[in-house]
Structure 1
Amino acid sequence: MQPSVRSWYSSTKIRTKMLFQLLLLLSFSIWRLQSTTAEVLSSPPPPLMCKNNVKSPICTLQDVLFVDFHVPRLPSLAGKHTLQIRSGNITRFSNDFSTALGDDVRKVLLGHLEIRSLWLKPTLRYLSAEGNLIHHVVVDELPDAETGAQYQLEHLNLMNNRLSNIRMLSNLSQLVELNLDGNLIDFVEMATFSSMKNLKKLSLARNRISKISSSSTIELPALESLSLVSNNLTTLAVKDWEMPQLIDLALSQNQLTNLDVENFGHFVSLEKLALAGNSWYCFWLNKALKRIQEKFITLADKDANCPAMPVEDICCSITVFTDDQPSYADLVARIESFAESHNRIRDEVTSRMDRIIGDSESQLDAVDKIVTEKQERWAKIFDSEKARVTEHDIEELGESIVQVEGKIKQWQRLGENNAKNAQDLTKLLYLTMELKNKLATDLKSIQNLQDEMKHYEISFNSNL
C-alpha cells in the first residue's frame, strides 16, 4: 500500500472512531435529557404560597401556571373565603382546578390569565374573570337538582371576554348581579334569565346584539338596572317585560326607531331612561317623551348634534318609515298625520320662543329698575351739600354693577336661545315642505299607475 493511501486510510479510521464516540455521547445526553424531562413532568409543581398574612381569610396568588394537565399545587385554603389570582396563565379553569379550591372558598377573583374555558363551581357565591379569552362556560346539571340543590353564585362578572352564547347561564337561579359587557353576543333569549328571581343588575352593553327574543312574558321581580347600550338593536319588544322594580333602563347607542310602548307605564318604578344615539322616529319620540315627563322619568343622556330637529335633545328623523306607519296605499292619511304633527311641533317651538321673549323683556325691565333706583340714589347724594359717600354706598354700588352685569348676561343667553329656536323652526319648515312634496309626488305616481292599470284592465276585458 502506498504511503499516501496508507495515510488516508489511517486518518479515515480515526475520524470514524471519533464520530462513533460522538454519537454515543450524543445518544447518552439525549437519554439523560428525556429522563430528566420525564422526571420534571411527572413530579408535582412546587407549592404556591399566599401573599397575605397567614391569619388573613383572603389568599392572593401570583404567577399561577396551568397550561397542561398538572393542576398547580395550591396552598391550604382552609378557613379562606376569598381566592385572588393576580397573574399567570390558566388556559382552562377546569373542574379539577375548581375542586382544588376546597370547600371554604366562596369568592374567586381572576386576573388577566388568558382563560379560554371556565367551569363554575356550584358552591361559589362570587366570581370575577374580567378581561380574559373566555368563549365557553360550563354550568353542569346538578345530580341532585330534584332535591332542591342549585348553584349558589350571586355575582358573576365576565366583562371583556369572547362569549357569543349565554344560554348555559340559565341554571344560575341565585344571581343578583350579572355583567356581560364587552363580549361577542349577537342574540339573546330573555327566557335565559327567567329563573333569576333575585337578579338586580343585568348589563349586556358593548356586544353585537341584533335581536332579543321574548316568546312569552318575562318576569324579573327584583331587577333594578338593565343596560343594552352600544349594540345593534333595530327593534325591541318590551311590552311583555314584567319588571316592577326597574329603576334604570339604558338603550343608548343602538339603531332603534320606536318601541312597542309609548310611556313605559308598566315599568312602575322607572326613574332613569337613556335613549341617545338611536334612529328614533320623531312622531313616536315626541309622543313618548311627553308621557315620560308626566311620569317624572329623567332622561339620563342627550345627543350633542342632530342633523334634523331634536326632541328634548334626543335626535330623531321624520323621514323614517316604519312598519306601523301607513303604507303607500294610504299616503293621504300619512300626509294628514304628518301635517298634524308638524303643526303641533311648530306650536311648541313658537310657544317656547314667546316665553323666551317674555323672559327677555322681564330681564330688561329688571335692569332698568336697578339702574333707575341707583341713579336716583346717587343724584340725591351729589345734590346734597352735607351728603358724604360712605364705604357702604361704594359696596352697594359695586353689588349693583355686578347684578346688572348678571342680568345682561342672562338677557344675552335668552337672545341666543331665541335665535337657535328660530333657526330650528326654519329648518323644520323646510323639512316639512320637502317631505310633503315628496309624499304628494309619490301619491300622484301611484294614482297614475292605478289609472294605467285600469286602462289595461278595460282593454283586456274588451278583447275577450
Structure 2
Amino acid sequence: MSKMKLHAVQFLLLLAFAFAQAKEYECQNNVKIDNFCLISQFYGGSETACKMRFPNHTAIKLQFPRIENLSARIAYNMRKVINLDISNGYVRNIYIKPELVFLRATNCELKKLYIDDRAPNQLEELYLSKNELSQLPENLRHLENLSMLDLSHNYIEFFDMGELHDLKFLSIVDVSYNRLKVVFAADTVQLPDLVFLNLKHNSLTAMHISHWETPILNELDVSYNQLSHVAKFPQKLPGMVSANFEQNPLTCSWLRETTKLLEAKNATFTSSLTTCVEPNRLYQSKETFIHELEMKDLLRANILEIARNLTEAEIDVDDKIDDIFCRIMGGV
C-alpha cells in the first residue's frame, strides 16, 4: 500500500472515530405538530462542545439540561435556532447568539448571561425568571430590539434604570420577587415604549424617578415593599393609569396628595389607607406619650369596672384594651 493511500486510510479512520464520539441530539417530539424541537437530558462539558450536533430547527426546547456553560461554540452548533427555551436544570452561564430572537431560561440556577456587544443583536424577548442572578446582566443596552424583559424571582439588589437606556422597543419589565433595595438612575433614561414596570415583592426603600423619560408608562406595581413615598410621582409619569402601592409604609400626607392627583386624571391607585404613617407622630414630646399612657390606664379602669358589674368576676381584658386603644390612637 502506497504511503498516500495509507495516510488516506488513517485520515478516514480518525474521521470515523471522531463521528463515533460525537453527541448527536434528536427531537423527542412531533415537530410538525409542536413547531419546536424538544431535547431532554442535554449535558456535556467544554471538551465535548465541538462534538455536539443538533437538529436543523429554528426553535429548540432544552429540558432538564446539565451543563456549566452554554458557550458560543454550542450556540453556533445550533445552526438555525432563533428561538431557544431552556428549563428545569443546571446551566450556570449562557452566551446569547446575536441571531436569537427569543430566549427563555427558567429555573436553571443561571448566574451569568453573556451578551455579544460586537454584533447587532436580534433578541426581542428575554425571560430569565427563577434563577440565581445577583445583578442585571451586562450589556443589556446592546439588545436594541428588546421588547420584553423578565428578571423575576432572582437575587438582584440594585436596579439601575440607566442599564436600559434607549431601548426604544422595550415595553414590559418585570423585576418582581427579587431583593431590590433601591431603583435609581444617575442620568436621563429614555424608554419611549415602556408601558408596564413590575417591582412588587422586593425590599425597596427608595425609588428615584426624576430622570425617567417614560411618556407612556401606564402601569406600575410596587406592592409589598418598604416605600414611604416616591418623589415626583405621578407628575413625572404623565401616562400613569394604574399604580399599586399596596403593603408599603406610606406617609399619610403623600398618600392623600397622590390619591388626589391620580383621581383627577381618572387613574386607579391601590394602597392600604389604614397603614399609612404620620411622620410627626414619630417625634412628639415625652409629655404626649405619658398623657397617652394615663388615658390608657383610665380606659382600662373603666372597662374593668364595667366588666365587674356585669360578671362579678375578675377577667383579663388587657389584650382587648390594647387593641381598642391602638385603634383610637391610630397605632403609630
TM-score (normalizing by structure 1): 0.55
**2:244 alignment partner in structure 1:** 274
SS in 2 for 1:70: helix
CA 1:244–1:123 in 2, change beyond 3 Å: closer, same or farther? same
CA 1:50–1:276 in 2, change beyond 3 Å: closer, same or farther? same
For the Cα contact (< 8 Å) 2:52–2:74, is it kept in 1?
no
Q: Does 1:233 align with 2:211?
A: no
CA 1:59–1:321 in 2, change beyond 3 Å: closer, same or farther? farther
Q: Distance in 1 between matches of 2:40 and 2:62?
A: 6
1:40-55 equivalences in 2 (<5 Å): 44-53=21-30
CA 1:320–1:154 in 2, change beyond 3 Å: closer, same or farther? farther
User: What runs of 5+ residues in structure 2 fail to find an aligned partner?
Assistant: 1-16, 289-323
CA 1:266–1:88 in 2, change beyond 3 Å: closer, same or farther? closer
Q: Does 1:160 align with 2:130?
A: yes
SS in 2 for 1:141: coil
Q: Does 1:62 align with 2:40?
A: yes
CA 1:287–1:70 in 2, change beyond 3 Å: closer, same or farther? same
SS in 1 for 2:159: strand
Corresponding residue to 1:197 among 168, 189, 197 = 168
Deviations 1:83-137 (A, max 9, x none): 11123312211111101011x3210011112110111110001000011111111
Question: 1:240: Cα distance to partner?
Answer: 2.6
CA 1:428–1:207 in 2, change beyond 3 Å: closer, same or farther? same
Deviations 1:191-232 (A, max 9, x none): 100031100000111111112221122111100110111111
Q: Does 1:76 align with 2:55?
A: yes
Question: 1:239: Cα distance to partner?
Answer: 2.9
SS in 1 for 2:207: coil
For the Cα contact (< 8 Å) 1:180–1:204, is it kept in 2?
yes
Corresponding residue to 1:430 among 314, 319, 329 = 329
Question: 1:320: Cα distance to partner?
Answer: 6.6
**1:315 alignment partner in structure 2:** 275
For the Cα contact (< 8 Å) 1:163–1:185, is it kept in 2?
yes
Structure showing greater radius of gyration is 1
Q: Does 1:265 align with 2:244?
A: no
Letter aligned with residue 180 of structure 2: I
Counting helix residues as a fraction of each chain, which structure ranks higher? 1
**2:225 alignment partner in structure 1:** 254
Question: 1:55: Cα distance to partner?
Answer: 5.1
CA RMSD of aligned residues (A): 3.0
Question: 1:42: Cα distance to partner?
Answer: 9.7
For the Cα contact (< 8 Å) 2:106–2:127, is it kept in 1?
yes
Q: Distance in 2 between matches of 1:241 and 1:75?
A: 44
User: Which one scores higher on RCO, CA 8 angstroms, separation ≥ 6?
Assistant: 2
Q: Does 1:245 align with 2:216?
A: yes
Deviations 1:226-266 (A, max 9, x none): 0111111111112332211112100111110011125x133
Q: Distance in 2 between matches of 1:54 and 1:281?
A: 56
**1:119 alignment partner in structure 2:** 95
Seq. identity, %: 24
CA 1:41–1:63 in 2, change beyond 3 Å: closer, same or farther? farther
**1:170 alignment partner in structure 2:** 141
Letter aligned with residue 92 of structure 2: R
Q: Distance in 2 between matches of 1:115 and 1:430?
A: 54
TM-score (normalizing by structure 2): 0.75
SS in 2 for 1:60: strand
Q: Distance in 2 between matches of 1:47 and 1:167?
A: 31
For the Cα contact (< 8 Å) 1:171–1:195, is it kept in 2?
no
Letter aligned with residue 165 of structure 2: S
**2:4 alignment partner in structure 1:** none
**2:83 alignment partner in structure 1:** 107
Deviations 1:335-379 (A, max 9, x none): 9xxxxxxxxxxxxxxxxxxxxxxxxxxxxxxxxxxxxxxxxxxxx
Q: Distance in 2 between matches of 1:320 and 1:175?
A: 45
Letter aligned with residue 195 of structure 2: E
